[in-house]
Amino acid sequence: VQLVESGGGLVQAGGSLRLSCAASGNTFSINAMGWYRQAPGKQRDLVAAITSNGGSTNYADSVKGRFTISRDNAKNTMYLQMTSLKPEDTAVYYCTSGHYSRGSYTFNNWGQGTQVTVSS
């Protein structure tokens, strides 16, 4: 599975961005996808995750109510709509894919990342 992110950039605080992640290859093996982010000097943290049918989503507390994850299976594409952006949302955002089972996600494929910078 190959994952390619797009949509990152520079935005002012309070603004919005939409990230996209296009999957190709053996996409039939995917039943969960997610977004992680990593700020300089910090660990990579889960931002949001979604199951293949969109029936289950999970969000980090820091983005609940501001970010929305979705996917279009016909296009093999996942999205992250980010609103009310804050400077602390600045990070490299990574797309990931894997599996969801018994309430737990396991991710094993990663994109190259896209930079999101929020200015104050």
pLDDT number for residue 95: 98
Nearest-Å Rg of the Cα atoms of the chain is 13
Q: Calculate ∠ Cα 83-53-111, nearest 5°.
A: 60
Question: Would you state the pLDDT for residue 9?
Answer: 97
pLDDT in the model for residue 30: 85
Average pLDDT, the chain: 95
Q: What is the pLDDT of residues 48-62, one digit of tens each?
A: 999 988 779 999 999
Confidence bin at 80 (pLDDT 50/70/90):
very high
For 113, phi and psi rounded to 5 degrees?
95, 150
Can you tell me the mean pLDDT for 81-105? Answer: 95
